[in-house]
Chain A
Amino acid sequence: MSEIILEINNLNKHFGKVHAVNNLSLEIKRGQVFGILGPNGSGKTTTLGMILGVTTPDSGNYKWFGENPSPAVRRKIGAILEHPNFLPYLSARENLKVICQIRGVDYSDIDRVLKLVDLKHRERSLFKTYSYGMKQRLAIAAALLGDPGVLILDEPTNGLDPTGIAEVRELIRNIAATDKTIIMASHLLDEVQKICSHVMVIHNGVKLQTSSVDEITGSGHKVEIEANELVSPEKFMDDKSIITDYTRDHKKFVCTLAEGKTPEDLNSYFFSHGVVLRRINPIHQTLEQHFLALLKDD
């Protein structure tokens, strides 16, 4: 079993009457790219704020690397929360020096992170002269200073243009490939699906689901089939141990497989009844469909 990086137990936070985070528990393990997915105002940033020491929880606790929270523990985590926060009247480089000084990181690391986010050529410009996309990239650079093992990114592609979005996603995937743990909040389903290995869905402060992205989007739940016309497969659709449900669209059937059954099982089942399938097509559910279904249930 891999090492637990972050453990959250029954975290609660109210803002007035709003129960922003409701009894949230969570475990994140080393190497996961963990997406926190939810619509705007669902408690993603509040959750991140609490585990980063800037929002005081009403109750509950959390542990980083098995340790109680402390400033020293936070120095091992690179994080951006909401908007890029820097002093506008200092240059990018001077702003990063402040971060280095707090973290005890050598100034020589500044060049490395600025090159990573492609801002080296603008390092002497004042922060206030940056476009929003550049500010966002500088925030990512700041999070990468000192090469922390854990990165927390709150809406990392917010405000970026399409090229910027692609670049940042590529950057995150590259970082994830180096055995780092990444926790990413996003309301963009597509983004989570493309980048994350695991996902937690949160709505109105309540955790709706935690699972791996593969489990949600992976094949096996629904299969589209088409048989030759001599024998209709409809006669054999009533075996609930294989097919729990199906819909018909002309010659095509969409079957929902029973728990633990694979498209191979379905194929051999029909073949044993003399039905030859000429088309068998596992339907990949998108995270979006799943997400919308979850929210509807809620």
Chain B
Amino acid sequence: MMSEQRENNSQNPSGPIGYIVGGGLKANLQARLSVPAQSVQEGAFVVVESGGWLFYGLVTDLQLGSTDPRFADEQTETRLPAQLAGLLHGQTLFTNLEIMTALMMERGPEPGSPEYDAWFQKVMDEQVHPEPVKTVPQHHAEVRLADAGDIAEIFGKEGEKGFFRIGNTIEGGHPVCVNLDKLVQRSSGIFGATGTGKSFLTRVILAGLIKRDKTAVLIFDMHNEYGPDDTASDTGFRVPGLRGKFPAKVRMVGLGAGASIRGNNPDFTLEIAEADITPDDVLMLSQELNLRETTATTLEALRTSFGYDRWFHAFKHMQVNVFEQDEESGKRVPAEGSVADWAEGAGVHPSAAEALHSKLRRLFNAPYIVEKPASNALQQMIENLDNGQHVVLSFGKHETDLDYLFVSNLLTRRIREVWERRTNAFRSGHQGAAEPRPLVIVVEEAHKLLNREMASQTTFSTIAREMRKYYVTLLIIDQRPSQIYDEVMSQLGTRVTGWLGDADDIQAVLTGLAGRDSLRGMLARLQPKEEVLMLGWGVPMPILVRSRRYDDAFWEELQGKSTQRSEREILDELGF
């Protein structure tokens, strides 16, 4: 009887919540809900048991229905006693669940039966694993909310082989893990409107990656959030930085000599040698600097005149608006050493060259660009990354987009070149060439680097496309995914997204994924805080997650209580 079922359900959370009444592979499955509608929410992770199979799916919609519209139209509760109305509504009014099934898995024999042990061994040997749905459950197959075991079956068990708990399911609060090793195999993205806890989630994932220690992480910390301790903008609580929690593992690099990051001294500072700047690095700034179309020609002329190493230095030191009297003609001509003078000599329109010179003044004036850096900080960073350390490049006071775009692109290009070289050496079997340590470059405000105009020019889009070919992937963090070039978006393996206010952003996050239509609504109705949708290549199936809190408890779970740290960890932190 229905009422018995209900009672059972209220006592037994893993009891059936409904049964399949229709649907298919193309459309989602329809299930009749047999528990109060409020006990199930959109995004709930459900399991359908049918035959020898378990089907795993997400609730993508709840619809009110009635056997006859009049039962819905008429407020019978006002006419009938509560008990009768309850019974009537129990059978004539109902809620249908729309379930997007994603995976199915063989259920296996009953535990305790003779076949069970053999089957369990197969599971342990990973011969039995979830696979994409190819069929549908039977009519009236029971639907239940996934329990911790089901979630673990699909998303992995916390603490095993790179599985890292990113949060819990909304219903039931069962741990949901992400496979960090898989996460970094392709570029991934963390999205969400401002204030949705995006940067906390990023900290959680970064902490996980650092703890996992299989991958080097380079963070372009534009707003100085990740390295140093911080204070949360909304709660005012202290937010521990990665540097403080992993003192031995995280190197904090400040941009520019004498940089101070939120009152802390960085481990070392980074200055960029003029010689390292290529014309492409400048061209990439076209939009930011409002460069003209002639810029490329001018830059090419500069490079030809002065060479890769010197062009920036030479151009920087040219003068503008200085003239002298031509002795022969008596005319007023550009003085030697002026931009115009060089332009004339190089066959470039002087005014174009002068305009470029004027526009590059912001770069010329950047204090972190020097002719000869005091130390080879770039090399230092690469060494750190090689040594199993992780680098946070804090931009300190250089927080303009120009600084960010210029530095992050330039560094990324340089570092990738290094990794590319090493990879080639490793692949071609050079003696002594070790396998490069996988590197994840974390990019904030990614749309500034990966928008349609920039994407072709920056190294980032190359990295995104290459996937893990050269052991470098991106973790991009952005609040406006729609601004990111869709070809890049479609390459993102794993996407973790919080609430997005803009339909275009939602659309962008779902680019290239199956079941977009079902997921779109779910994404639009995410709780503004802490609820995130995980989807894409890196997770077996989309899932709604209440993300883990980035707080003391998190750190205790991740590192153990400070008093119980092992000797090894203490030594690590001391830098031995």
Is B one of A's binding partners?
A: no
